[in-house]
Amino acid sequence: MKSASRTVALLELLAARGDRPARLDELAEELGVPRSSMYQLLQTLVDCGWVRSDTTGSLYGIGIRALLTGTSYLDSDPHVRTVRPYLDEASDALGETIHLARLDGPDVVYLATRESHEYLRTISRVGRRIPAHAGALGKALLAERDDAELPLPDDPLERFTPNTHTGRATLIADLADVRARGYSIDREETVTGVAGFGFALRYGSPATDAISCSVPVTRLDAAHEERVVAVMREVRAKIEGVLAPAPGAPDWR
């Protein structure tokens, strides 16, 4: 069990570093593992493809097996498969960026994205995570939970822009508005210059998945905001209509 826990912790640490490879000593210190034990673990994972190293053998990063496993997760998840065509529908109707994400502890993880027809990113968001308090997707899902049960770290919460909630009190007040309104609004809380509108998908209780629409604030006048909300509400209703749990289907948690 100790070895398995150590392996998972190492892979999660390397994944969180993204494009910043780590040295052996860094990993050993970060995880509190003896240098010799960390070296042996790294070599085993390199041989298996879960970790990769540079030509000098001194830098380590996440390996291709992690991608294959992540892709399998997306391909095998029935909710992701079902929602994808509706993301296309929303993208075609609005011409904006549409996301599907899932709550994972205090964060949301992007499961699918349809980029704006007018703004193309060079790096996919799929597989990336952001703190739930900081954006439309996370706030839509947090609002589905009681305030006393919110999966949040202690204050201060991480700040991304001057508009990010950094305290539980202001976030809870915002979540009350989300519940009353039926959807969340992120006005440049995660990315300066971008607003988001999030809609929890209530085919589970409490909801763990949500969809959102991101719009550059330069294009967001009152009429466009009204259309975004109307289209996303309609798409949410369609998704919830086809994703009622089937008898005997696995109840994935």
CB 50 within 8 A of CB 44: no
Instruction: Give the tens place of pLDDT for each residue, 9-20.
Output: 998 898 888 789
Dump pLDDT digits (tens) for 183-216: 999 999 999 999 999 999 999 889 999 999 999 9
SS3 15: helix
Range name among 117-121, 180-184, 226-230 with the lowest pLDDT average: 117-121
Terminal CA-CA length for the chain: 22
Confidence (pLDDT) at 66: 85
221 phi, psi to nearest 5 deg: -95, 180
- 247 has a pLDDT exceeding 80: no
Kindly tell me if the per-residue pLDDT of 250 is higher than 70.
Answer: no
Which of the listed ranges 116-120, 206-210, 247-251 does the model predict with the highest average pLDDT? 206-210
- The type of residue at 178 is V
190-225 burial, b at 16+ Cβ within 10 Å, e below that, comes to bbeebbbbbbbbbbbeebbbbbbbbbeeeebeeeeb
User: In the sheet where 59-62 sits, what is the strand order?
Assistant: 22-23, 59-62, 51-53
* Model pLDDT, residue 251: 53
Residues linked to residue 52 through DSSP beta bridges, in sequence order? 61
Q: Which residue has the tokens 């550059």?
A: 216
Cα of 211 vs its chain's centroid, Å: 11
Kindly tell me if the per-residue pLDDT of 252 is higher than 70.
no
Q: Which residue, among 116, 48, 66, has the nearest Cα to 87 in the 3D structure?
A: 116
When the pLDDT of each residue in the chain is averaged and rounded to a whole number, the result is 90
Query: What local confidence, expressed as pLDDT, does residue 113 receive?
Result: 92
Which residue has tokens 């609002």?
143
> DSSP of 134-156, one letter per residue?
GSHHHHHHHTTS-GGG---PSSS
Model confidence pTM above 0.85: no
Predicted local confidence at residue 119, as pLDDT: 59
- The tens digit of pLDDT for each residue in 43-94 reads 999 999 999 999 888 899 999 888 888 788 787 888 999 999 999 999 999 9
pLDDT tens-digit map of 151-172: 999 999 999 999 999 999 999 9
Q: Read out DSSP for 24-85?
A: HHHHHHHHT--HHHHHHHHHHHHHHTSEEE-TTS-EEEE-HHHHHHHHHHHHH-HHHHHHHH
